[in-house]
Amino acid sequence: MSDDLPAFDLEHYVPYQFSIISAQLSANLATMYQDRFGISVAEWRILVNLAYSDSRSVRDIQRRVRLDKAKVSRAVAQLENRGFLTKEIDGDDRRLLHLELTASGRDLVAQLVPLAEEFQSTVAAKLNGEFAALQTNLTQLMKELSDG
């Protein structure tokens, strides 16, 4: 460490902590669904967003899941090839692709959700009864940050 730098506690810097925790949570969950279902992180995010949000276009999902366009496009193509979703060009704006889960895609999501809920329960247990408060605070923070 250099003496000419200001004091800084990286280990307690909240954006750094969020980054590390997010990456680790994502990797741990990904190991579970990749092993069982052979899907990537991007594919997981697309599937659950199609199932549980109003996002229906590649553009909407890209913004919502914070992945670059190329990664989302590759994941959509992979999911379409495997029969989990269909895509259709928007009649008004040919640059937009609308996505929809197929019956196989809905079946896959129905298998993924219990796995995700089990994973969340494991995480919650590590927080010694503070999970509900954390969830409330994170929801508020997400809202505050997205409004800005």
In this predicted model, what pLDDT tens digit does every residue of 30-87 receive, in sequence order?
A: 999 999 999 999 999 999 999 998 878 888 888 888 888 899 999 999 999 999 999 9
138 close to 59: Cβ distance less than 8 angstroms: no
Residues 59-75: tens digit of each pLDDT: 888 888 888 889 999 99
CA dist 116 and 122 (Å) reads 10
User: Is the pLDDT assigned to residue 148 strictly greater than 90?
Assistant: no
Q: According to the per-residue pLDDT averaged within each range, which of 8-22, 62-76, 88-102 is highest? A: 8-22
b/e sequence 25-59, b meaning 16+ C-beta within 10 Å: eeeebeeebeeeeebbbbbbbbbebbeeeebbbbe
Q: For the chain, list the strands marked E by DSSP.
A: 85-89, 97-101
pLDDT band at 91, cuts 50/70/90? Answer: confident
User: Is the pLDDT assigned to residue 96 strictly greater than 60?
Assistant: yes
Share of the chain above pLDDT 70, in %: 98
Is the dihedral angle over the CA atoms 111, 84, 30, 65 positive or is it negative? negative
CA dist 126 and 129 (Å) reads 8
Q: What is the pTM of this model?
A: 0.84
The pLDDT value recorded for residue 59 is 85
Q: Which of 2-11, 91-100, 123-132 has the lowest mean pLDDT?
A: 91-100
123 close to 135: Cβ distance less than 8 angstroms: no
The pLDDT value recorded for residue 1 is 57
Is the dihedral angle over the CA atoms 131, 133, 139, 144 positive or is it negative? negative
CA angle 46–52–56, rounded 5-degree value: 55
108 close to 51: Cβ distance less than 8 angstroms: no
CA dist 70 and 55 (Å) reads 18
